[in-house]
Amino acid sequence: MLLNRTHDKFLLLLSMVSFCGFAQANPLAISTCTALANIKNNMAADYVLVNDLDCQNIQFYPITGANGQALSFSGSLDGAGFTIANLNIQPEKRSRDIPVGLFSSLDGATITNINFNTAKVYSRPDYDIGLIAGVANAATLSNITANTLWVAKIDKTHKDSTNSAGGLLGYSFDTTLTNVAVNDITLERNKFAGGLIGRAGNTTLVGGSVTDLWWTGDIAAGEAYSDSGFGGLIGRINGDVTIKQSFVSGGHIHSDDTVGGLVGLLNPSATVTIENSYSNIRVQGKDYIGGLIGSDDRKGNEIILKNVFVVGDVVSSVEESMGTVIGRDNTRLSERAKTGPSYFDKYTTSHKPDLTSGDKISVGLTTDQMQDPENASYFGAKDAQGNYVWDRTIWIMEAGEYPRLQPYVPPVDVTEIL
């Protein structure tokens, strides 16, 4: 069994919670891929994996209710640390177009403690797609790892489709993701795409990571998109989104329009909070290319940045449409941006400072300064109480290396266990 990025301490407390009766009572056991597919017969029950599953050579269809009913999964699936390997998911030819994923959609469901190795997920144009679910409403995802993932549209010709694609979720609303990781992912032919979530509204992401993200099927193939959004974590934001203790590292996103290392596009009246996070991915394109956020060009948006940095390269053929942190020319940014420490490596990024009324919202540092944990002006700064501004319980700081995040351990209220 493999359960990435979770401390032994947390696993011990988790087992204590289960022992004391806080876990789901009498969940239904899943031991085969067929049993997994048959969740469709009871979309409100609680389930648990009892062994690893290998779904090689099995055509898997989105779980959406028996007899073709369009039902959302509202129960729970506990992977118990086991792995599902070699999933190949696509919609049935005879079915009407539906969101695509292991589950077509989630409504109040909980998915936890599960790993995926090697999965391919395909969708028709205009329908949301993600490994876990195409659409998630009021769902909870935690302790999930996906390795070697391919997410794509079936039809190559509909470049103006409106679908959203994410490594885990196509579209999320009122949803929380905690301690989730995607490693080695290819996103192909989707208008809004993110390494974890394609499109998000009122969503909280804590302890999220994407490593080795690749976007294909874009400009070189004549499939550039207008009014699109591509982000290392989230493609497009509607509503309020919080991102904490998350990062993207490795890979390359290349598209004509609206690319960000963490977030692609902010829609009108969106609020995004990004804390203790960083981007280390090459982002490249023409219009609205940013190391952290691609485009924020609407009135009423609010951006809150605290303890964030960018070290990946940022490349645009139109200099006025790129920024090391935020790509869009933010003439009103000072009216709605609240920023704490925000840095970029001016030697590794093709940097263009983000400006607000002539003042930088981000500070360019040398590589030596970025890798000096005791520099009192930057990563070694302390507050009035003598505490590090860059919290050492969150960050690992070592001389000669960029800061990196500690493995995220969700807080546990021990009083609820005793």
pLDDT at residue 73, rounded to an integer? 97
Whether 343 is covered by a domain: the verdict is yes
pLDDT at 36 over 80: yes
pLDDT at 402 over 80: yes
C-alpha 286/C-alpha 388 separation (Å) is 38
Whether 399 is covered by a domain: the verdict is yes
Q: What is the mean pLDDT of residues 380-406?
A: 95
Whether 1 is covered by a domain: the verdict is no
pLDDT at residue 55, rounded to an integer? 97
Average pLDDT for the chain: 83
Which of 60-64, 88-92, 161-165, 411-415 has maximum average pLDDT?
A: 60-64
pLDDT at 101 over 90: yes
Q: What is the mean pLDDT of residues 151-168?
A: 71
Contacts 24+ apart (CB under 8 A), 27-32: 27/76, 27/78
pLDDT at 408 over 70: yes
pLDDT at residue 357, rounded to an integer? 36
**pLDDT classification of 219: cutoffs 50, 70, 90:** very low
Counting the structural domains of the chain, the total is: 1
Whether 279 is covered by a domain: the verdict is yes
The answer to whether the CB of 123 falls within 8 A of the CB of 154 is yes
Q: What is the mean pLDDT of residues 378-397?
A: 95
pLDDT at residue 24, rounded to an integer? 54
The answer to whether the CB of 232 falls within 8 A of the CB of 264 is no
* pLDDT more than 70, % of the chain: 78
Output the six-digit token pair for 347.
């030697």
Contacts of 22 by beta carbon, 8 Å cutoff, 6+ apart = 416, 417
pLDDT at 254 over 80: no
Judging by DSSP bridges, how do beta strands 404-405 and 257-260 pair with one another? unpaired
Task: Give one word for 403, left, alpha or beta, with left for phi > 0 and alpha for psi -120 to 50.
Answer: beta
Please compute Rg for the chain using Cα positions. 21
Whether 254 is covered by a domain: the verdict is yes
pLDDT at residue 214, rounded to an integer? 86
CATH code for the domain in which residue 26 is found: 2.160.20.110
Whether 2 is covered by a domain: the verdict is no
pLDDT at residue 91, rounded to an integer? 86
pLDDT in tens, 296-353: 656 667 888 899 999 988 887 776 667 788 876 454 554 556 677 889 898 888 766 5
**pLDDT classification of 195: cutoffs 50, 70, 90:** very high
pLDDT at 16 over 50: no
pLDDT at 80 over 50: yes
C-alpha 240/C-alpha 196 separation (Å) is 17
Show the domain range for 195: 8-416
pLDDT at residue 321, rounded to an integer? 67
Query: Residue 54, Cα to own-chain centre: how many angstroms?
Result: 25
3-state secondary structure 134-177: EEEECCEEEEEEEEEEEEEECCCCCCCCCCEEECCEEEEEEEEE
Look at 67 and 358; give whichever has higher pLDDT.
Answer: 67
Lowest-pLDDT choice from 1-15, 85-99, 209-223, 397-411: 1-15
pLDDT at residue 279, rounded to an integer? 95
Whether 70 is covered by a domain: the verdict is yes
**pLDDT classification of 2: cutoffs 50, 70, 90:** very low
Whether 3 is covered by a domain: the verdict is no
Lowest-pLDDT choice from 129-138, 199-208, 222-231, 232-241: 222-231
**pLDDT classification of 95: cutoffs 50, 70, 90:** low
